[in-house]
A = this chain, B = another copy of it.
Amino acid sequence: MELQLQIKLNPNLYLRDPESSTLGKNIVRYSVELIDELGFEDFTFKKLAQRIDTTEAGIYRYFENKHKLLIYLTTWFWTWMEYQIMFQTNNIADNKKKIDTIIALLSNPRETTFLMANIDKEKLNRIVVAEGNKAYLTKHVTEDNKAMLFAPYKDLCHKIASVFADYAPGYPYPHSLASTLVETAHHQMYFKDNLPRLTDFGPGAGDTDLAGYLSHLVFGALNAAK
């Protein structure tokens, strides 16, 4: 049995659904590769066009500009992450265990049994860590937000917040703690690799060390409110 799950995103993100053609799929797949290689600033549609042997204008038919493409990719990631969390926490009754699972997934998003698109999750994860903030740190956040472009990110945070609320009903900041958890997971990952003095993780530290910190942080907050 081979299950193929498809992620369908908000049409405001693209001009033409990239899932609808081979070119579209290539755009998504190889933009992940190229952004990971060059960084978002140096990534251009022209360079991407060269790599997948099409023209710059060809890519503009799918995405209005590279920023929309970045939102598309990050949003894809958050949708995928929410699905992972939903799947992995399903049938777990214990809320503490649910939170542990969420933290483990955020600390190390690993491939599961399901094949999903031809996207390299490791590279996409690195992109979301290093470039994800740039998706919403713009002068047009409000507009983009109204167009629902960040819905999957917000949904994910709400889902996490609701688990927090179940675990510690009296805790007054479940949403802030959820967004803090998600952001911190990524920031600490980035710091560990690039500005290690901003963390307590040595060079050999793995994702369980990060998970340990996040766990301590989250349960510290939630248990204090219990």
Contacts and interface: CB of A to CB of B under 8 A. Distances in A.
Interface string A151-181: 0011001100000000000001111111110
A216 B173 CA distance: 9
A224 interface: yes
B213 A224 contact: no
Interface residues of A, number: 52
Contact of A136 (B173, B194, B213): B194
Query: Taking the full assembly, how many copies of this chain does it contain?
Result: 2
Interface string A189-226: 01100110111110000000000010011011111110
Contacts of A199: 173, 175-176, 179
Interface string A35-73: 000110110000000000000000000000000000000
A194 B142 contact: yes
